[in-house]
Chain A
Amino acid sequence: MMNGSNDGGSKPARTIIVAGQSSERTREVLRALRGFTNVIWPTSLESALAQTSSKDAGCLVIADDLREEPIDEFLQEARELQRNLPIFVITDPDDVAEAVSAMRHGATAVIEIPPSYSVLCEEVSRAMQ
């Protein structure tokens, strides 16, 4: 199983931040990433942005909107906080318009799930290296 675990024990593993309201889609993403260590799921917008701006942030997975804020706006704020942070946005299958919009707002890649959990894990794994 791929994971972002700490192999030497000297450096703490960087965090994988999963942002999204409590929805089936967010839970699916969390399940897909269960092989990784240091996955966190902030419960509020403020907390998600604070975690994103942390130097320990390894990547951000936007699984769903955050109720208070649409995905594109959150994405833009996150990108302003961390210009080089890999940010992956999860969309419903075939929602090309949403994918294009996410890319325009700073996503590194857009992944449609289901079914591409493996693509998500590969992208996250690459980002954590």
Chain B
Amino acid sequence: MKDMPQTVFVVDDDDAVRNSLRMLLKSAGVHAEVSASAQEFLSSYEPSQPGCLVLDVRMPGMSGLEMQQELNLRGATIPVIFITGHGDIPMAVEAMQHGAFDFLQKPFRDQELLDRVQRALIRDSEYRARLRHTDRIRERLASLSPREREVLDLVTQGKANKMVAGDLGVSQRTVEIHRAHVMQKMEAGSLAELVRMMMAVAP
């Protein structure tokens, strides 16, 4: 499946800031969508859309910090870059404690914002790639039979076929056959790879 293009969402109640950021991002070849308020953004945002968010702290109605908390409640993982002309340390600390990616004070240099946007887009892309990877592993795990799953759990604990056979009360040959099926269904080239897969989906 082709990946969706990344979008930089800009939420700021100031028309001039929104327009200048849209132009700046466009000039850097980045697709941007702008909203004038938190409510406007939240009404149309889909968490499956990859990208990052440039968010003004101080806005009428729902503030940027309140909107961040609303996104957290919705389980959104989009990296948030706060921008503000009136920032102080407690505000910055609160934003970062709630998971902000960055916090930038106005006025800032264009390049400064573009650098942070690029970093945020890379982080979002890496996070989504990890998520796809673990989803694939979970799908493969779901395709295992209950016995194959038992064998998988025991071999990834470091147990040899003979010990697994003893634990499950089956012959060693049966374990070998189940193990071969596990390797095939999990698309693992080695036991080490299998262990890494299990670690990736461990709670």
Contact = CB atoms under 8 A, between A and B. Distances in A.
B89 interface: yes
A103 B88 contact: no
B102 interface: yes
A96 B87 contact: yes
| Chain B interface residue bracket vs A | 10 to 19
A95 B89 contact: yes
Q: Chain A interface secondary structure, helix, strand, loop or mixed?
A: mixed
A52 B92 CA distance: 26
Interface in A66-100: 91, 93-97, 99-100
Given A96-B105, A97-B105, A100-B102, A91 B96 contact: no
Given A104-B96, A109-B97, A99 B105 contact: no
Given A109-B93, A109-B97, A96 B88 contact: yes
B103 interface: yes
Contacts of A91: 89
Given A96-B103, A100-B102, A110 B88 contact: no
B55 to A, nearest CB: 14
Interface string B90-124: 00110011000011010000000000000000000
A103 B105 contact: no
A94 B34 CA distance: 30
A99 B92 CA distance: 7
B31 to A, nearest CB: 26
Contacts of A96: 87-89, 92, 103, 105
Contacts of B93: 99, 103, 109-110
Interface of B: 87-89, 92-93, 96-97, 102-103, 105
* Top-3 shortest CB links A-B: A103-B96, A100-B103, A99-B89
11 contacts: A93-B89, A94-B89, A96-B105, A97-B105, A99-B89, A100-B102, A100-B103, A104-B96, A109-B97, A111-B89, A112-B89
Given A93-B89, A94-B89, A104-B96, 9 more contacts: A96-B87, A96-B92, A96-B105, A99-B89, A99-B93, A100-B92, A100-B96, A103-B97, A110-B93
